[in-house]
Amino acid sequence: MFAVIKTGGKQYRVAADDTLNIERVAGEVGDIVEIGNVLACGEGDKVTIGTPFVDGAMVTAEVVEQGRGPKVIAFKKRRRQNSRRKRGHRQLLTTVRISEILTGGAKPSKKAAAKPAAAKKDDAPAKKAEAKPAAEKKAAAAPKAEAKAEAAAAPLFKAPKGEPEDLTQIKGIGPVAAGQLNEQGITTFAQIAKLSDKDIAKIDEAMPFSADQISDWREQAKELAKK
């Protein structure tokens, strides 16, 4: 038996034990999820078409994995405006295995995988003893995590002393981009003019500007820094 289901705005033809990736659905690994939007179902020449869905039909599936799809790069360029923008996106996906195709209002026979049983009272002291080393490790790891968070929040460059210059004089840098550069410690034409290729790669990775775009700003900044 097969069925055509609709989930996440897409349609899939499925059969029992099929494994497929669908748009993210709520659930943990081992859970059984129900998909009630069945557009068609049948076996051989006997096919029932829904209007738009088949009454009493349902497909159940077991959650195999919660993950993300491959990275997709969106690149936008405006002609003769020195404007380029590159962004990445990874779609949230759920890998499921089709368990049953039910018709006529039948109830699913498979249930979610059993969760770990709660600890007995006799095991409580042992669990507490095990929890102490874990708590100590967590407390020791906390300063390291805070240090990493501070490092991630720190600006890419050290801003020079003095008043920041008007970076919007560079073609392609608007008020928003200028504010973002200032937040990362880039405040003067001389800084942009002295950017190395490694600096440009670092900005390209951390900010929504392409390497070609930043290289063009560097050339313009060299002329403005001379004034």
User: Per-residue pLDDT for 187 more than 80?
Assistant: yes
Q: What is the pLDDT of residue 151?
A: 46
User: Burial, 31: exposed, middle or buried (Cβ in 10 Å; 0-12, 13-18, 19+)?
Assistant: middle
Token couple for 223: 């002329």
Return the half-sphere exposure (C-beta side, CA atoms, 13 A cut-off) of residue 55. 1
pLDDT tens profile 145-154: 555 545 446 7
- Please state whether the peptide bond connecting residue 164 to the residue before it is cis, i.e. omega within 30 degrees of 0: no
The average confidence (pLDDT) of the chain is 84
Smallest CA-to-CA distance from 74 within 55, 61, 87, 93 is with: 87
Query: At 206, is the pLDDT very low, low, confident or very high (cuts 50, 70, 90)?
Result: confident
Determine the average pLDDT of the residues in 180-202.
90
CA distance 54 to 52: 7
pLDDT tens profile 24-69: 999 899 999 999 899 999 988 899 999 999 999 999 999 999 999 9
CA distance 148 to 150: 5
Q: What is the pLDDT of residue 125?
A: 57
Place of tokens 């969760």: 115
Query: At 161, is the pLDDT very low, low, confident or very high (cuts 50, 70, 90)?
Result: confident
Token couple for 159: 């801003």
Q: Which residue has the higher pLDDT, 125 or 99?
A: 99
| Domains of the chain, earliest start first | 2-102 (no CATH), 167-226 (1.10.150)
- Percentage of the chain beyond pLDDT 70 is 81
Provide the 8-state DSSP code for 82: T
